[in-house]
Amino acid sequence: MNGPLLRVENLVTAFEVRGRSLFAKPLELRAVNDVSFTLAAGETLGVVGESGCGKSTLGRSILRLIEPTAGRIVWQGRVLTGLTDEEMRRARRDMQIIFQDPVASLDPRMTVSDIIAEPLTVFEPQLRRKEREARVQEMMEAVGLAPEMVNRYPHEFSGGQAQRIGIARAIVTRPKLIVCDEPVSALDVSIQAQIINLLRRLRDEFDLTLIFISHDLSVVRLISDRILVLYLGRIVEIGDSRAVFDRPAHPYTRALLSAAPIPDPKIARNRPRVQLTGDPPSPISPPPGCVFSSRCPFVIDACRTAQPPLIQTAGGQQAACIRLDNAFQSQAPSV
């Protein structure tokens, strides 16, 4: 295929938030602010950032589950942002989503079989019952669920198994793209690696392209080819996974990496840290200039004048920072 599978151009998703008083003008909250990137078929893009950075809104905006305010989403050469609701609904056959809370995302009154078959009744209504059942069994096998579980209800399953059901439902229509929104965050640590390995296997088996959203860098590292770091709705760094983890360029990426706990007491005691003070600012009133300027340990006056564009770094990734060639780059390696 020519060109990328997905191209996101200057995407903005804004919400209106009520002002301080009932009669005050509503405020605008830009959850996603001028985000652009491309995704090649078969690629896995990890989207990381802290709560409120816009990562889930970005994932949902791409599928138009939340309507973007501006910008374009181009899917296999077709502009999704202009489609009617009905056209978009049909396009979603190729684009599925997996949610964080596996049990809550499954209808408690439906059996496993009904849940997994539901997308088929929408997108392939011509299928006979026997064919549909065969597809469900095939998916259950693919995600590692025993065939005899087919008539059980969601509450009978553990979190890990429920997430397998959610994954089976997502892949049953053979989509090309799956947005995984914090798919292992609610699971026990010993189960997280099982589900990540499953997603990796399915990606190869079904030629899937993944957008993998998580607050947890260690989980994102396990599955991503490329990493996109969001802060206050903006991309602050994007590039190959190895480059971002081995030589993070943006001060925020460096702080995130150095704050991620490492289960090794000797490393934990001795690793250099990029310590941040304070909390992220509210997206309703971002700081002037660079979105990270209010917490950045390397901030200078020039950072407060304009949001820096993404700049090519020595490591090959892109980062939105005007101080990339400065001395702090040589201090404090990542992890």
Partner 1 sequence: MAALLSLEDYSIRFRTPEGDVQAVTDMNFTVAPGERVAIVGESGSGKSQTFLGVMGLLAKNGVATGRAMFNGVDMLKLRGAALDAVRGRDIAMVFQDPMTALNPSLRISRQLTEQLEVHQNASRAEAEKAALAMLERVGIPDPVRRFRLYPHELSGGMRQRVVIAMALLTRPKLLIADEPTTALDVTIQAQILDLFRELTADLGAALVLITHDMGVVAGLADRVAVMYGGRVVEEAPVDPAFEAPAHPYTAALLASIPRVDRDAADIQPIPGRPPNLIRLPAGCAFHPRCAHAQDNCRATPPPLSALAAGRRAACFHPVHEEKAA
Among residues 6, 98, 196, 227, which is the contact residue for partner 1, using CB under 8 A?
196
Among residues 66, 127, 311, 335, which is the contact residue for partner 1, using CB under 8 A?
335
Residue 192 makes contact with partner 1 by CB under 8 A? yes
Residue 225 makes contact with partner 1 by CB under 8 A? no
Among the residue ranges 32-40, 82-90, 268-276, 296-304, the one whose residues contact partner 1 (CB under 8 A): 268-276
Residue 218 makes contact with partner 1 by CB under 8 A? yes
C-alpha separations of 19 from 25, 30, 51 in Å: 6, 15, 22
Q: Which candidate, 279, 273, 241, places its Cα nearest to that of 260?
A: 273
Among the residue ranges 23-31, 99-107, 173-181, 186-194, the one whose residues contact partner 1 (CB under 8 A): 186-194
- Per-residue x/- track, 77-106, partner 1 (CB under 8 A): ------------------------------
Residue 289 makes contact with partner 1 by CB under 8 A? no
Which residues, in sequence order, are CB contacts of 98 under 8 Å at separation 6+?
A: 163, 166, 167, 170, 178, 179, 180, 181, 183
Residue 197 makes contact with partner 1 by CB under 8 A? yes
CA trace torsion 315, 45, 50, 183 (10° rounding): -150
- Per-residue x/- track, 136-175, partner 1 (CB under 8 A): ----------------------x-x---------------
Residue 277 makes contact with partner 1 by CB under 8 A? yes
What is the end-to-end Cα distance of the chain in Å, rounded? 38
Which residues, in sequence order, are CB contacts of 272 under 8 Å at separation 6+?
A: 258, 331, 332, 333
Among residues 259, 284, 300, 306, which is the contact residue for partner 1, using CB under 8 A?
259
Query: Which residue in this structure is represented by tokens 């209504």?
Result: 125
Residue 18 makes contact with partner 1 by CB under 8 A? no
At 172, list the tokens: 């049953």
Kindly state the smallest distance separating residue 164's Cβ from partner 1, in Å.
12
Among the residue ranges 101-109, 170-178, 211-219, 302-310, the one whose residues contact partner 1 (CB under 8 A): 211-219
Which residues, in sequence order, are CB contacts of 89 under 8 Å at separation 6+?
A: none
Q: How far is CA 17 from the centre of its chain?
A: 24
Q: Return the number of the residue (36 or 194) whose C-beta is nearest partner 1.
A: 194
How many CB atoms sit inside 10 A of residue 247's CB? Answer: 18
Q: Return the number of the residue (260 or 306) whose C-beta is nearest partner 1.
A: 260
**How many residues in the shown chain lie near partner 1 by CB under 8 A?**
46
Calculate ∠ Cα 25-26-29, nearest 5°.
Answer: 140
Q: Is 165 helix (H, G, I), strand (E, B) or coil?
A: helix
Rounded Cα distance between 222 and 153, Å, is 31
Among residues 17, 134, 267, 314, which is the contact residue for partner 1, using CB under 8 A?
267
Residues at the contact surface with partner 1, assessed by CB under 8 A: 50-51, 158, 160, 188-194, 196-197, 200, 215-219, 221-223, 245, 255-269, 273, 275-280, 335
